[in-house]
A and B are shown apart, each in its own frame.
Chain A
Amino acid sequence: MIKLTDIRKAYHQGQHNELWALNGIDLAIEANKVTALSGPSGSGKSTLLTLIGCMARPTSGRVQLGERDISGLPERFLTDIRRRTFGFVFQQFNLIAGLSARDNVMLPAYPLGGDWRALHERADALLDTLKLGQRRDARVEWLSGGEQQRVAIARALINDPQVVIADEPTANLDTALSREFMAILESLKQQGKTVILTSHDPLVVESSVVDRVVHLRDGHLVEGDK
């Protein structure tokens, strides 16, 4: 469903500190599968995720979403596609401190202007399925790491995206919580979501939930898919 053709990405292009993070990536990502991007630090995993997730545009190359070429679209359209198609889980969770778990979960839905009551119900339902029902009014900074991550996952799912993107989702979790996360991934897959994540973590990369591992090094794909 997502097709990348000869993707290159430069930071600070034309300046003395020009850096090519991606050097020609060709990759097709299937729908309803869990795809993991793996590779050493600095190999370009996060950069690739931002391009797939319409957070940034490639310096050259094509990104296709379904049948649509989205690499040339202006930012406004990209934002619109992004918030309807993708849900993001960040490594640092990036929750907004001081707000309740539920308020955090609802954040991505505000700019869409859906029905206010329905939105609250949707947020509560998501928190319930992630076993956070009783904690929904707690401020996020009082939650444990695992709870925070589940809030972040609920937030990623609030607009019911087709694709969930997660950058190093288990980097801040211990083994038990990481396993819990893999269980949540499994259920997302059963709901028919497409998941793309990056990870160093063998527990993730070698998990049976992951359908495919893509290796990166210095901005190139390395053969040896799982």
Chain B
Amino acid sequence: MKIWIERQKALIDFTLSSLARRKLKNLGLLLVYTVIVFLLASVMLYTHALRHEAAQVLKNSPEVIVQRMVAGRHDLIPLGYLEKLGRIRGVQNKEGRLWGYFYDNVVSANYTLMAPSPESHGFGRIADGKIVIGAAVARERGLVPGNLISFRSYTGKLFVFTVAAVLPHEAELVSADLLLLSETDFRAFFDIPAGYYNDIALSVANPQEVRNIASKISETLPDARIILREEVLRTYESIFNWREGIVLVLLSGSILAFAIFAWEKASGLSAEEKREIGILKAIGWETGDVLKMKFWEGALVSLTAFLLGYVAAYFHVFHFSAALFEPVLKGWSVLYPRFELVPVVDGFQIATLFFFTVFPYTVATIVPIWRAAITDPDAVMRG
């Protein structure tokens, strides 16, 4: 064992000085390879994080949302609809929801305002005149519980609220820009008459029944639009796949070119290198020793490239919002008006990327060496 370690140490030592001799070639290879890994990893990290995010958001959303359509547009839904829905079998819970968007000129941001049902947010009933705010809002406007905050509503009236609490930080992804207020305040602020809601959220006893229930709803309420969570999920999924596909297609040309370049550089064996392998064999190296040394050479280059490329991609995606892909991926911002990706790293994904980059490179360096390394040790004695 100790001998084995000493051997690897010596081989790596030699490999390093050997790599240093062909600085330009090896640095070039390293660079090219890093770029490939960077591009691939960026795409993978990006789409994976988006999927993850969408799943997180949707996990908490209701299974069925019923909206009322008037002249093809989403309109307020009256209380009577809620009662009609109650008679459909399989509906477990139903709730009229009150929510709306509000643009705050002070910080140029869009807020989502909601009047939560008392059970749903763990803050109990929110008293009139109080407001619960998302962490980002608190940060932007420098608010702590007890402060006052005022908004001028769309009707022109000024409303003043006391901050009752700040939503916990972990929920920031979903709730960063959320404002929660009492039903009375909400109706007053947006001027929504009593007995009307924005939409109705349903939960279903048996998820298998969702489609049946949906068709029953549309029979009962012909002017309703029904939005199913599973459908939204599927739409997201297909949009993501499609986008990912486009990016990969766009990149594939350049990646292929890079890959061929790297392959050629790695696998081409100069006369000088062949001579060196001959010398090593003559002074007592076995074919296996030569291969091991070259294995380390390929492994060091491709591992370094992998690490550099992956870390760069990580920063690119999670700290610079995938700035390089912006032109292609912009459409996403329709789905996500304000997203900051939460870093998600998937082990399987890393393994896949690793396998498709480090492995072929190492093979590309080994194969031609292997052919040169099986030459007879006495070859150097001639000429």
Complex Cα gap A96–B293 (Å)? 15
Complex Cα gap A97–B21 (Å)? 9
* B276 CB-CB contact with A under 8 Å: yes
- CB A110 to nearest CB in B, in angstroms, measures 4
Contact B10 A108 (CB under 8 A): no
Chain-A contact segment, one of B113-121, B284-292, B340-348: B284-292
Segment 90-145 of A: residues with Cβ below 8 Å from B = 90, 92, 94-100, 103, 106-116, 119
Q: Which residues of A contact B272 (CB under 8 A)?
A: 97
Contact A49 B7 (CB under 8 A): no
Segment 40-55 of B: residues with Cβ below 8 Å from A = none
- CB A37 to nearest CB in B, in angstroms, measures 13
Contact B378 A111 (CB under 8 A): no
- CB B285 to nearest CB in A, in angstroms, measures 5
Contact B6 A82 (CB under 8 A): no
Contact B6 A90 (CB under 8 A): no
Contact A116 B13 (CB under 8 A): yes
Q: Which residues of A contact B382 (CB under 8 A)?
A: 46
Partner of A56 from the list B11, B276, B286, B376 (CB cut-off 8 Å) is B376
Contact B381 A90 (CB under 8 A): yes
Contact B377 A111 (CB under 8 A): no
Contact A108 B6 (CB under 8 A): no
Q: Which residues of A contact B289 (CB under 8 A)?
A: 110-111
Q: Which residues of B contact A107 (CB under 8 A)?
A: 14, 280, 283, 285
Complex Cα gap A50–B380 (Å)? 10
Chain A: interface residue total (CB-CB under 8 A): 35
- CB B273 to nearest CB in A, in angstroms, measures 10
Contact B21 A98 (CB under 8 A): yes
Complex Cα gap A124–B376 (Å)? 30
Contact B285 A90 (CB under 8 A): no
* A16 CB-CB contact with B under 8 Å: no
Sorting the interface of chain B by its residue count into under 10, 10 to 19, 20 to 34 or 35 or more gives 20 to 34
Partner of A83 from the list B3, B6, B283, B380 (CB cut-off 8 Å) is B283
* B17 CB-CB contact with A under 8 Å: yes
Contact A108 B381 (CB under 8 A): no
Segment 125-161 of B: residues with Cβ below 8 Å from A = none
Q: Which residues of B contact A159 (CB under 8 A)?
A: 284
Q: Which residues of B contact A46 (CB under 8 A)?
A: 381-382
Contact A94 B279 (CB under 8 A): yes
Contact B377 A56 (CB under 8 A): yes
Contact B11 A110 (CB under 8 A): yes
Contact B377 A119 (CB under 8 A): no
* A155 CB-CB contact with B under 8 Å: yes
Contact A50 B378 (CB under 8 A): yes
Complex Cα gap A104–B7 (Å)? 16
Partner of A111 from the list B17, B21, B286, B380 (CB cut-off 8 Å) is B286
Q: Which residues of A contact B13 (CB under 8 A)?
A: 116
Q: Which residues of B contact A108 (CB under 8 A)?
A: 283-285
Contact A99 B17 (CB under 8 A): yes
* B211 CB-CB contact with A under 8 Å: no
* A60 CB-CB contact with B under 8 Å: no
* B169 CB-CB contact with A under 8 Å: no
Q: Which residues of B contact A56 (CB under 8 A)?
A: 376-378
Counting residue pairs across A and B whose Cβ atoms lie within 8 Å, the total is: 82
Complex Cα gap A95–B279 (Å)? 8
Beta-carbon contacts of B267-299 to A below 8 Å, as 1s and 0s? Answer: 000001000100110111110010000000000
- CB A39 to nearest CB in B, in angstroms, measures 15
CB contact under 8 A between A110 and B21, given known A55-B381, A79-B286, A90-B282:
no
Q: Which residues of B contact A49 (CB under 8 A)?
A: 381
Chain A residue at minimal CB-CB distance from B2:
A113
Complex Cα gap A155–B280 (Å)? 12
Contact A82 B380 (CB under 8 A): no
Complex Cα gap A56–B3 (Å)? 27
Contact B9 A116 (CB under 8 A): yes
Complex Cα gap A167–B18 (Å)? 27
Contact B7 A90 (CB under 8 A): no
Q: Which residues of A contact B11 (CB under 8 A)?
A: 110
Contact A96 B279 (CB under 8 A): yes
Q: Which residues of A contact B284 (CB under 8 A)?
A: 79, 82-83, 108, 111, 159
Segment 127-175 of A: residues with Cβ below 8 Å from B = 155, 159, 167
Complex Cα gap A109–B279 (Å)? 14
* A76 CB-CB contact with B under 8 Å: yes
Complex Cα gap A178–B185 (Å)? 105
Complex Cα gap A31–B6 (Å)? 32
Contact A55 B10 (CB under 8 A): no
CB contact under 8 A between A55 and B7, given known A108-B283, A159-B284:
no
Complex Cα gap A103–B285 (Å)? 15
Complex Cα gap A88–B283 (Å)? 7
Contact A103 B283 (CB under 8 A): no
Complex Cα gap A159–B285 (Å)? 13
Chain B residues proximal to chain A, CB less than 8 Å? 3-7, 9-11, 13-14, 17-18, 21-22, 272, 276, 279-280, 282-286, 289, 376-378, 380-382
Known: A98-B18, A110-B285, A111-B285. 6 other contacts (CB 8 A): A55-B282, A88-B283, A98-B21, A107-B280, A108-B283, A116-B6
Chain A residues proximal to chain B, CB less than 8 Å? 46, 49-50, 55-56, 76, 79, 82-83, 88, 90, 92, 94-100, 103, 106-116, 119, 155, 159, 167
16 contacts between A and B (CB under 8 A): A55-B282, A55-B381, A76-B286, A88-B282, A90-B381, A95-B279, A98-B18, A107-B14, A110-B7, A111-B286, A112-B7, A113-B3, A113-B4, A113-B7, A113-B10, A159-B284
